[in-house]
Amino acid sequence: MQPRKQHVLLLWLLFYSSMAEALEPISTTIAVGMAAALTGILARYQNIFYYFHECCRPEWISFNITIPHICLWVTLTFSGLVNAFDPITTTVVVGVGAALGRTIFKYFKETCDPKWIAYNATGLKTDLDNKLFGQHIASRIILKAVNGFMSNANPKKPLVLSLHGWTGTGKNFVSQLIAESVFAEGMQSRFVHVFTSTLHFPHADHIATYKSQLQQWVRGNVTNCERSMFIFDEMDKMHPGLIDSIKPYLDYYEKLDGVSYRKSIFIFLSNAGGDGIIQTALEFWKAGKNREEIELKDLETTLSLSVFNNNKSGFFRTSLIDKNLVDFFVPFLPLEYQHVVQCAMAEMEARKLTPNPDVADKVARDLVYFPKSERVFSVKGCKTIESKLDFYT
């Protein structure tokens, strides 16, 4: 069956629009101009195609068109269509086709719009209530902070959170929950960016280069999408002074060089301050108080000062703290035996396994100092739950 010209035109327009989508606005304008010029040449010198393939003449066109001929057939048919339009009309058609193709393309490709970025407050609350264990302070602060920020159509500055605590207490997990509540693709979103100090900034003698690269990376990604999210892991291992390079982006500026950072989210993860958090938890325990009685005011000031004065931390004497640009220092309490059991049970449910209390008990016993005490803190929290379950199930 002979292909219809309008089908060929649609194929060409979709192809052109996908190319336009991959370019920035200036390059797209140049590309459209080149396309207009090319169509004018094709309209005037249609016979140029005859020099490249012997079947350009009508007598060579068959109803039985095979796959290898499709590209040639599209080219020939399009050249015929181009001949039917004057250059101005062709430019308009190509422009309309580019816009249509871009719309179709965006339906399948993640873009910076409400289809892909839409905050789910209920989902975040449900996840924090049902998946995060032993962190009543962190859960409450995170929900309040993210809710307030995402519901504000015109925030004065980016949301900046600094999460502190021992390994395995849930800092990375909470970052994941926040990402999943904001982005349809969660942590896989191209608008979520993770930096790990020991991986991305390993050498102290390259700090000047790292500062420049970090500024460019943040600026470029926020230019691409104002609802970007940046996660800095292992802040306790970052070279002091490096994080100050992005201080302007976290400040109360409406725009910097034409770019607004006010709708972005910055999350810092650190083990620094963990010892002070544990000490406070122990004091409450020794005083016979319930751990749920611990409040943010019992930890926040001590936490921020200990991090600020730690010369081995990425926050050492940082202007981010000095200028009060960190919105919340969020403490993650050390987990107890019962919390590790809850983690193990939740992980079994996530794996579609029947929750087994005996297996959960074995996992928890491997991850605490003295298994028989329900008041002894876990060594690794819930960080190695998966590998432990692999061993016991």
Q: Are residues 170 and 311 in the same domain?
A: yes
Amino acid 27: pLDDT = 53
Q: Are residues 196 and 87 in the same domain?
A: no
Amino acid 386: pLDDT = 76
pTM of the model: 0.72
- pLDDT at residue 65 is higher than 50: no
Q: Are residues 314 and 343 in the same domain?
A: no
Flag whether 15 is in a domain.
Answer: no
144-168 pLDDT, tens per residue? 999 999 999 999 999 999 999 998 8
Token reading at 64: 């039985």
Flag whether 81 is in a domain.
Answer: yes
Q: Are residues 146 and 209 in the same domain?
A: yes
Task: Count CB neighbours of 197 within 10 A.
Answer: 21
Q: Are residues 224 and 352 in the same domain?
A: no
Please report, rounded to a whole number, the percentage of residues in the chain having pLDDT higher than 70: 69
291-339 pLDDT, tens per residue? 999 999 999 888 999 899 998 889 999 999 999 999 999 999 999 889 9
Q: Are residues 180 and 254 in the same domain?
A: yes
Instruction: Residue 373: give the domain boundaries.
Output: 337-390
Flag whether 22 is in a domain.
Answer: no
Q: Are residues 159 and 74 in the same domain?
A: no
Q: Are residues 208 and 344 in the same domain?
A: no
Please report, rounded to a whole number, the percentage of residues in the chain having pLDDT higher than 90: 58
Amino acid 8: pLDDT = 47
> What residues are paired with 160 via a beta bridge?
266
Task: Count CB neighbours of 78 within 10 A.
Answer: 18
Report how far residue 146's alpha carbon sits from residue 162's, in angstroms, rounded to the nearest whole number. 13
Q: Are residues 325 and 356 in the same domain?
A: no
SS (HEC) of the chain: CCCCHHHHHHHHHHHHHHHHHCCCHHHHHHHHHHHHHHHHHHHHCHHHHHHCCHHHCHHHCCCCCCHHHHHHHHHHHHHHHHHHCCHHHHHHHHHHHHHHHHHHHHHHCCCCCCCCECCCHHHHHHHHHHHCCCCHHHHHHHHHHHHHHHCCCCCCCCEEEEEEECCCCCHHHHHHHHHHHHECCHHHCCCEEEEEHHHHCCCHHHHHHHHHHHHHHHHHHHHHCCCCEEEEECHHHCCCCCHHHHHHHHCCCCCECCECCCCCEEEEEECCCHHHHHHHHHHHHHCCCCHHHCCHHHCHHHHHHHHHCCCCCCCCCCHHHHCCCCCEEEEECCCEHHHHHHHHHHHHHHCCCCCCHHHHHHHHHHCECCCCCCCCEECCCCCCHHHHHHHHC
Flag whether 64 is in a domain.
Answer: no
- pLDDT at residue 371 is higher than 50: no
Flag whether 43 is in a domain.
Answer: no
Token reading at 182: 């904001």
Q: How confident is the model at residue 363 (pLDDT cuts 50, 70, 90)?
A: confident
- pLDDT at residue 18 is higher than 90: no
Q: Which of 22-36, 67-81, 300-314, 322-336 has the highest mean pLDDT?
A: 322-336
**Mean of the pLDDT values across residues 170-183?**
97
Flag whether 44 is in a domain.
Answer: no
Q: Are residues 261 and 160 in the same domain?
A: yes
What is the number of structural domains in the chain?
A: 3
Amino acid 62: pLDDT = 57
Amino acid 85: pLDDT = 56
